[in-house]
Amino acid sequence: MLDHLPQLQPDPILGLSAAYQNDTNPKKVDLGVGVYKTEAGDTPVLQCVAEAEAQLLQTQTSKSYTPPAGITGANRAAAELAFGREHQALTDKRVGTVQTPGGCGALRLAAELIAHANPDATIWVSTPTWANHVPLLTSAGLRLKEYPYYNFAEHRIDFDAMMETLQQAGENDLVLLHACCHNPSGADLSQSQWQAVAELASKQGFTPFIDMAYQGFGQGIDQDAYGVRLLADTLPELVLATSFSKNLGLYRERAGSLSVVSANATQAQAVLSQTLSIARGLYSMPPSHGASIVDLVYHTPELRSQWKSELTGMRERIAGLREQLVGELNARQDKQRFDFIAREAGMFSFLGLSVAQVTRLKNEFSVYMTDNSRINVAGVNAHNLAYLADAIVKVLD
């Protein structure tokens, strides 16, 4: 039955990671895979997470299944972090939250829910967007359309073109927006631009579908949720996928959630029941360990304070690396300005290089990034900064 299946090419980013691992150059630089890295090049276990895990090991008494919706405290944490503890949507019980296997699980569960509610729905995604959005959404049978977002030539959001295109979106459409730290561009909507999106959604009737994978990595926990909270204030419906992979470093634990804002509490319960039914057919019950860590860190004052401090440290380190990289690149040449990197947020930015230049960086200098020159800024450190800047400048010739 399976002997007719052809072998597929490896995922481009995973393939890039494998090539980096096999490279014997001691100066090699990995700017490909999108995980946070320390100055030593490690993806750390946060101290608050390590302490929460130690407590869990001492206190857990069962390995029984989690409830269908997941760990209640983790769901509460996800909802309160996203919307704010006193947000009207929460106090009015208009929000239903379900724990999912990571942010990817949240996106796929949302896609199945949307397809169940309206098989003819269309989801508009930004150009560019995170590559995995496409398979996660289309695997549920949904149709995708694109709206302009990032102007590669000018290194900024092409907001006028974005808004003009989204005037085509209507009541059967959802618009996928990145809450903060846009992946892969790092270019985020301003508060006034979020307000314009809210007005357009209200006028056109489309539903915002927000992916918030990097809350706390942009400007801060509350600042990064500005768009989510504004749209929940303004509109009757909102779909939100969240992840703790980055801001708690729980990548392999697959700790995420799907929250759906409905017009009223009765409808929210109906949507929640449908979401749980779909989840039952996808993965039955969500995993416990990562969500239990989220619950414990969020609801233990000492751990929560420690987490916020560690998260601030990661955010400020990335912002500092952006400034340093811009300084090193601009000091070495006058052909191209890289100031835009410092204006962007989160782990990612485009360098604005051609595929040929990216290939040269890999083959001649062992500097690894995706073909579109998207870099993970967290892969830069004091040890490789000068080498990296020298290599980039050499391929600009």
Catalytic residues: 130, 211, 246
- Location of structure tokens 């098989």: 119
- Encoded tokens for 122: 């269309």
Cis peptide bond upstream of 128, omega within 30 = yes
Distance CA 238, CA 263 (A): 9
DSSP annotation of 379 reads: G
- Encoded tokens for 81: 């972090």
Burial of 91: CB neighbours in 10 Å, binned 0-12, 13-18, 19+: exposed
Distance CA 395, CA 46 (A): 37
Cβ atoms 132, 14 nearer than 8 A = no
Distance CA 256, CA 128 (A): 23
Q: Which residues contact 391 (CB under 8 A, 6 or more apart)?
A: 29, 361, 364, 365, 367
Q: Which residues contact 299 (CB under 8 A, 6 or more apart)?
A: 73, 77
Distance CA 214, CA 6 (A): 36
- Encoded tokens for 162: 């974005």
Cβ atoms 79, 228 nearer than 8 A = no
Distance CA 370, CA 358 (A): 8
Query: What's phi and psi for 346, nearest 5 deg?
Result: 85, -160
